[in-house]
Amino acid sequence: MTGLGNTRTRWGPRSRGRMRSRTGPDRVTLGIVGLVCAVAGLFVLGIVLGPVAIVCGWLAMGRRWSSTHIPSVVAVALGAIDTLLAILWLA
pLDDT single digits (tens) 5-34:
666 655 655 555 555 555 566 888 888 999
pLDDT at site 50:
93
Instruction: Name residue 4's amino acid.
Output: L
Concatenated DSSP letters for 12-70? SPPPGGGSPPSSSHHHHHHHHHHHHHHHHHTTS-HHHHHHHHHHHHHHHTTSS--TT-H
Say what the pTM is. 0.69
